[in-house]
Amino acid sequence: QSVLTQPPSVSGAPGQRVTISCTGSSSNIGAGYNVHWYQHLPGTAPKLLIYGNNNRPSGVPDRFSGSKSGTSAALAITGLQAEDEADYYCQSYGGSLSGYVFGPGTKVTVL
Amino acid sequence: QLQLQESGPGLVKPSETLSLTCTVSGGFISSSSYYWGWIRQPPGKGLEWIGTVYYNGVTSYYSPSLKSRITVSVDTSKNQFSLKLSSVTAADTAVYYCARQVTTADAFDIWGQGTMVTVSS
């Protein structure tokens, strides 16, 4: 069981906005540690989408945005496209008891 | 452009040691700005962090749940880092990824393609 919680799936029509939540605790996200987000298509390498809570690496479209508040974080995808259909993972740090932790992943389906 | 490539046996017998190597190309492993890490994904499950090492080989961090069985090492002369996981069971069957980890942000910014390792007799 992950110490971070994500919804198993979210879906939306092309062009819509979807959000994925990542809920932690005072031991990880709430302790002030950064939250990062990855996009993972089966059979490929995971891709860093958001780092440091709300920063996009070069080349990542501005349709992707991240936020953090308290013990939770969220990834928003606006203008949903078919190519966005993938698994999305949040990641943070849980201190020496947990180390680096990933959420269980959320599957995004474009209807 | 920096690239990472995992290599090692695709099949390991139960109770034996899983050994994987990650070769870094297009850049140097001996950079003070990065750590080097291993992450795995069992079939049908999510990502799990295994361990992280600094280029000096002295600074390392391991998953508490795997710590007793893990060794992560660095060979700067070959621009490689390696993972050894001892006493494997079927639960260690997974796709294993190596990745570069930014020291200032802790994010894994560049990943290898992954290699499937099956534990079976």
In tens, the pLDDT along A56-74 reads 999 999 999 999 999 999 9
Cross-chain Cβ contact A48/B108 below 8 Å: yes
- Check whether A1 has a pLDDT greater than 90: no
pLDDT tens readout for residues B54-102? 988 888 999 999 999 999 999 999 999 999 999 999 999 999 999 999 9
- How far apart CA A2 and CA A98 sit, in angstroms, is 10
Among candidates B56, B52, B82, B47, which has minimal Cα distance to B67? Answer: B52
Amino acid identity, position B7 = S
pLDDT tier for residue A2 given thresholds of 50, 70 and 90: confident
Q: Longest Cα pair distance anywhere in chain B, in angstroms?
A: 42
Length of chain B measured in residues: 121
Query: How many contacts does A have with B, using Cβ atoms within 8 A?
Result: 66
- What is the Cα–Cα distance from A37 to A29, expressed in whole angstroms? 13
Q: Cβ of A91 and B61 within 8 Å?
A: no
Quick one: pLDDT at residue B107? Answer: 96
For residues A17 and A2, what is the distance between their CA atoms, to the nearest angstrom?
Answer: 26
Residue A87 has a pLDDT of 97
Average pLDDT, chain B: 95
A 58-77: CB under 8 A from B: none
Contact yes or no for A103 and B46 at CB 8 A:
yes
